[in-house]
Amino acid sequence: MNEFAGAALNARSRGPSPAKTAQTRQSIVAAALDTFLERGFSGTRMSDVAARAGVAKGTLYLYFADKEALFEGVLREVLAEPLSSLGAAAPRPGESVRAFLGRVVGPILRDMERSRRAAVIRLVVAEGARFPALAETYRRVVIDPAAAAIRQLARRAVETGELRTDALVRFPQLLAAPAVLVTLWNGLFAAAGGPLDGEAVFEAYLDMVFGAGGG
């Protein structure tokens, strides 16, 4: 993982250093991810990825069988990254669900574009139909856990009377809908018309659903 480890292994094993290998793999994954997010699957050329990663074209094929494997492998790695901690966090004692959401979701949304999460959503939407495995992985890794967390919050909100209906229990997707919409909107219309402010939209949404003035 660092140069010393590499040197040590080198000393005893001769031949290519695993550290270097891991680093090469890392370059490829990073370059491929950036390129796929920017240009989509078929808009990405293997030579672009290689150039961006600083390796030769042939090297890509030492790590991934073909372009599709690269695509899926790279996205699998991205999705494996630690996720938004919506599931990890929980309302503080005495904190309303409304207040909790305002406190926790805000930073997530603010970080959406800066991190690659927004770009990943757009990519999944754009390519998911042609790559069912990608869609399924995304669902399993991102959507289902988030839905579970939302459902739990929704139950609590129903119990405490914050929500008047169990709509969010039955369709936890409803809580994510505004965030998804803003993400897609900004991907399409950011150039002409300026981006939509995700936090503002989400706050307005919470007002509408929970009643105004969420403190």
Report d(CA 115, CA 185) in Å as an integer: 17
**Inter-CA distances, 23 with 3, 15, 63, 87, Å:** 11, 16, 12, 32
Tokens, residue 19: 């550290």
Partner from DNA, its own copies, none contacting 88, C-beta within 5 to 8 A by type: none
Q: Does 180 bind its own copies (CB under 8 A)?
A: yes
CA quadruple 34, 131, 180, 150: dihedral, nearest 10:
-110
Map residues 93-112 to x or -, x wherever contact with its own copies holds by CB under 8 A: --------------------
SS3 184: helix
Return the residue of 7, 160, 170, 195 that touches its own copies, per CB under 8 A: 170
CB of 33 to DNA, least distance (A): 15
Told to check if 80 binds its own copies by CB under 8 A, we report no
| Ordered alpha helix ranges (H), 57-172 | 57-63, 67-80, 97-112, 117-127, 132-138, 144-159, 167-170
In the complex with DNA, the residue whose CB is nearer, 62 or 148, is 62
Structure tokens at 70: 């690269």
Regarding 62 and contact with its own copies (CB under 8 A), the answer is no
Per CB under 8 A, 204 contacts its own copies: yes
Q: Give the interface segment with its own copies, choosing from 16-24, 64-72, 79-87, 176-184 (CB under 8 A).
A: 176-184
* Exposed / middle / buried, residue 54 (Cβ in 10 Å: 0-12, 13-18, 19+): exposed
Residues at the site binding its own copies, with contacts judged by CB under 8 A:
15, 39-40, 42-43, 56, 122, 124-130, 132, 135-136, 138-139, 163-165, 167-168, 170-171, 173-174, 176-178, 180-182, 184-185, 187-189, 191-193, 196, 200-201, 204-205, 207-209, 211-212
